[in-house]
Amino acid sequence: MDPIYLDNNATTRVFPEVVQEMLPFFTEQFGNASSIHAFGEEVGSAMRTARRAVQALIGAEHDHEIIFTSGGTESNNAAIRSALAANPARNELITSAVEHPAILSLADWLEKHEGVVVHRIPVDGKGRLDIDAYRAALGPKTALVSFMWANNETGTIFPVDGLADLAHDAGALFHTDAVQAAGKVPIDLKSTEIDMLSLSSHKLHGPKGLGALYLRKGTRFRPLLRGGHQERGRRGGTENAPAIIGLGKAAEMTLATMAQDLPRIEALRNRLENGIVQKVGHCFITGDTRDRLPNTSTIAFEYIEGEAILMLLNKQGIAASSGSACTSGSLEPSHVLRAMDIPFTAAHGAIRFSLSRETTEAEIDRVIDAVPAIIDQLRDMSPFWSTEGGVAAFNPEYA
């Protein structure tokens, strides 16, 4: 039985066309784009095409607003550190409680070691931002606001457009981590006030180890990596040309079929959710079902634990992921689900299915068929579950 990959928010398969596009740049057109000879020239020209493809994907006004980086994490680090360094009179950072660790662990560090005041805006039970708390946190000391465009675990979308306007009203810069959003929602930066945006190549069928930072023309910038004059002096280091060209191709392909792909992916995701929720009791969909990435579904199954579900799914060739503590090596469940106050009865059993444009209806139907038996099997073993469908009496010695 062919394996079914529903973990596309973790990473995606590189499109074969992308690999084909990249290959000549390893062994034939291997030059350094900074060189003056023909070898360098060919690479420089291919990179320009790639830059324009990324520009088109996110609706940037100018191609030089795109800076290639080593990935989403570097883009996030560069954006946050630049905004703080470029505005020495302001030392406050506003972000949310549900950001990716690429933002949160940096924020923790800055707070602890570099005197930055960090505001972590909470979310409600559906993962929606507390806008009143955000307004209240904004002030004359705010250097940067950084909110993710879409959440990696639940898919919940933040209204970044309006959030950016509020930041500008307070004289602060606005950055968005769009690693999950790029390619999954239409993005048109030139019609927004967003100053900086991070994206990652491997989340949209490009190669790993490459990302991009959008930097609006005129935005003050301090490089994270100082070195040569690459990327107009904004990111030192010889460009990863094959990967850049791969990202360009992936962006071009994603944009070309986005209008047809997104509704189809969303319909498959809804089919999956309806199929599972109808067949399995005591489970619910997390996140804001009215404003969510079309490919993401996190379903919380009560009274069982996520790693056990994943292992049984994996045995049937189905790859998904979990916000459960046990899979990550941490002992507590996902910070996103905890910020949403998802009860512990369910947070440990939350499973994320993330689709791609390669997902088929037959695959979704196979998952719908497989899940109920897996859940039943684990619930039969759970001391919190009784066959009457209720919760068994449980009096542990150490609880």
Partner 1 sequence: MWEYSEKVKDHFFNPRNAGAMEDANAVGEVGSLSCGDALKLMLKVNPETDIIEDAKFQTFGCGSAIASSSALTELVIGKTIDEARALTNQDIAEFLDGLPPEKMHCSVMGQEALTAAVAAWKGEELEEDDHEEGALICKCFAVDAGMIERAIRTNKLTTLEMVTFYTKAGGGCSSCREPLEELLSDVNAAMVAEGVIAAADAFVFGAAPVAPPPQKKTTGFVIPDMPPDPPATAAPEPIAIQPIRVKPATAAKLPPAPAPETATSPKGLSLAQETIAIARIIEEMRPIFQADGGDVILMDVDGNKVSVEMTGACAGCQIASLTLGGLRKRIRDELERDFIVVPAPKN
Active site residues: 326
Instruction: Please tell me the distance from the alpha carbon of residue 148 to that of residue 204, in angstroms, as a whole number.
Output: 17
- Decide whether 206 or 306 has the Cβ nearer to partner 1: 306
- Decide whether 79 or 339 has the Cβ nearer to partner 1: 339
Residue 372 Cβ vs partner 1, minimum distance, rounded to whole Å: 18
Asked if 132 is part of the footprint of partner 1 (rule: CB under 8 A), the reply reads yes
Asked if 136 is part of the footprint of partner 1 (rule: CB under 8 A), the reply reads yes
Restricted to residues 368-387, the positions that interact with partner 1 (CB under 8 A) are: 380-384
Sheet containing 321-322: order of strands: 283-285, 296-301, 350-354, 321-322
Asked if 109 is part of the footprint of partner 1 (rule: CB under 8 A), the reply reads yes
- Decide whether 292 or 348 has the Cβ nearer to partner 1: 348
Asked if 1 is part of the footprint of partner 1 (rule: CB under 8 A), the reply reads no
The Cβ of residue 341 has, within 10 Å, a number of other Cβ atoms equal to 11
Instruction: Please tell me the distance from the alpha carbon of residue 368 to that of residue 374, in angstroms, as a whole number.
Output: 11
- Decide whether 119 or 216 has the Cβ nearer to partner 1: 119
The Cβ of residue 380 has, within 10 Å, a number of other Cβ atoms equal to 10
Asked if 331 is part of the footprint of partner 1 (rule: CB under 8 A), the reply reads yes
Among 20, 45, 105, 257, binds partner 1 (CB under 8 A): 105
* Three-class SS of 94-142: EEECCCCHHHHHHHHHHHHHCCCEEEEECECCCCCECHHHHHHHCCCCE
The Cβ of residue 385 has, within 10 Å, a number of other Cβ atoms equal to 21
Asked if 353 is part of the footprint of partner 1 (rule: CB under 8 A), the reply reads no
Instruction: Please tell me the distance from the alpha carbon of residue 230 to that of residue 238, in angstroms, as a whole number.
Output: 7
- Decide whether 152 or 240 has the Cβ nearer to partner 1: 152
The answer to whether the beta carbons of residues 216 and 189 sit under 8 Å apart is yes
- Decide whether 60 or 150 has the Cβ nearer to partner 1: 150
Residue in 9, 15, 12, 23 with CA at minimum distance from that of residue 249 = 15
Piece in contact with partner 1 (CB under 8 A), picked from 30-38, 165-173, 213-221, 338-346 = 338-346
Residue 44 Cβ vs partner 1, minimum distance, rounded to whole Å: 33
The answer to whether the beta carbons of residues 129 and 291 sit under 8 Å apart is no
Among 32, 40, 325, 372, binds partner 1 (CB under 8 A): 325
- Decide whether 69 or 334 has the Cβ nearer to partner 1: 334
Asked if 389 is part of the footprint of partner 1 (rule: CB under 8 A), the reply reads no
What is the phi/psi pair of residue 40, to 5°? Answer: -70, -40
Site string for partner 1, 302-321 (x = CB under 8 A): -xxxxxx--xx-xx------
Among 26, 45, 101, 228, binds partner 1 (CB under 8 A): 101
- Decide whether 56 or 312 has the Cβ nearer to partner 1: 312
Strands 321-322 and 318-319: unpaired
3-state secondary structure of 261: helix
Enumerate the β-bridge partners of residue 200: 211
- How many residues belong to the site for partner 1 (CB under 8 A)? 63
Strands 321-322 and 350-354: antiparallel
The answer to whether the beta carbons of residues 305 and 254 sit under 8 Å apart is no
Sort 376 into a burial class: Cβ within 10 Å, 0-12 / 13-18 / 19+. middle
Among 24, 31, 59, 122, binds partner 1 (CB under 8 A): 122
Restricted to residues 68-97, the positions that interact with partner 1 (CB under 8 A) are: 73, 91
Piece in contact with partner 1 (CB under 8 A), picked from 22-30, 107-115, 285-293, 356-364 = 107-115
Among 216, 348, 353, 364, binds partner 1 (CB under 8 A): 348
Q: What is the CA radius of gyration of the chain?
A: 22
Tokens (6 digits) for 346: 């369910």
3-state secondary structure of 231: helix
Restricted to residues 157-196, the positions that interact with partner 1 (CB under 8 A) are: none
Restricted to residues 249-308, the positions that interact with partner 1 (CB under 8 A) are: 303-308
Q: Site residues (CB under 8 A) for partner 1?
A: 10, 73, 91, 100-102, 104-105, 109, 111-113, 115, 117, 119-120, 122, 132-133, 136-137, 141, 152-153, 303-308, 311-312, 314-315, 324-335, 338-339, 341, 344-345, 348, 380-384, 394-399
